[in-house]
């Protein structure tokens, strides 16, 4: 099964022909040139592809998409505000290497102990939150100057030093 990575959401419809604004956190301005499809989550872990007819850069964090079969504003509106996912290979191609979202799929290690895979990255003004599973429950781990030790891109690992007791609330 392919792995999918959340890159943002369909924020609004624009124009009369069904164009949709994709708000993304790929870390760079992109037209998504060469991308065939985006995926919307139908239900948990079930993704539906939407094929791209054309794209246009709006700004650093937004791209306007024209999707196959979405030809009028009313249909486009029904797709907002759905989350947008990319297949793993496409995600690696379009995410900026230096952007926080590039940490998706990395393994988080705290003081030598493997915590788990980073499932989601949430960017906030002063920190980045990484969602991981701790004992089957989603835990949000803050990443900032004090907690981040290093990022090993080659081995896909993020080394952190978290305050004692931070993960206890998830157990």
Indicate the pairing of strand 83-87 with strand 120-123.
unpaired
Question: 116, 118, 121, 110: which is closest to 148 by C-alpha?
Answer: 110
pLDDT band of 2, cuts 50, 70, 90: low
> By C-alpha distance, which of 78, 92, 112 is closest to 27?
92
Element (H, E) at 78: helix 73-78
Q: Please give the residue that has the higher pLDDT: either 42 or 113.
A: 113
Q: Which domains does the chain have, with CATH numbers?
A: 4-94 (2.40.30.60), 100-170 (2.30.30.240)
pLDDT tens, position by position, 133-153: 887 888 898 888 888 888 888
pLDDT score for 80: 85
Instruction: Give 71 or 123, the one with higher predicted confidence.
Output: 71
| pLDDT tops 60 at residue 1 | no
The mean of the pLDDT values for the chain is 85
């Amino acid at each position: 099964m392919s792995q999918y990575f959340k890159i943002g959401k369909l924020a609004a419809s624009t124009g009369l022909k069904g164009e949709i604004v994709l708000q993304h956190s790929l870390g760079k301005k992109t037209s998504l040139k060469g991308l065939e499809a985006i995926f919307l989550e139908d239900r948990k872990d079930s993704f539906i592809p939407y094929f791209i007819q054309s794209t246009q850069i709006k700004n650093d964090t937004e791209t306007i998409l024209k999707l196959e079969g979405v030809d009028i504003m009313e249909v486009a509106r029904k797709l907002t505000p759905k989350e947008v996912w990319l297949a793993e290979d496409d995600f690696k191609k379009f995410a900026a290497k230096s952007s926080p979202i590039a940490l998706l799929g990395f393994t988080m290690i705290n003081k030598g102990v493997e915590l788990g895979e980073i499932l989601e990255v949430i960017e906030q003004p002063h920190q980045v939150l990484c969602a991981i599973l701790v004992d089957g429950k989603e835990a949000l781990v803050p990443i900032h100057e004090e907690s981040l030790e290093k990022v090993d891109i080659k081995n896909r690992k993020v080394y952190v030093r978290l305050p004692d007791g931070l993960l206890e609330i998830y157990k």
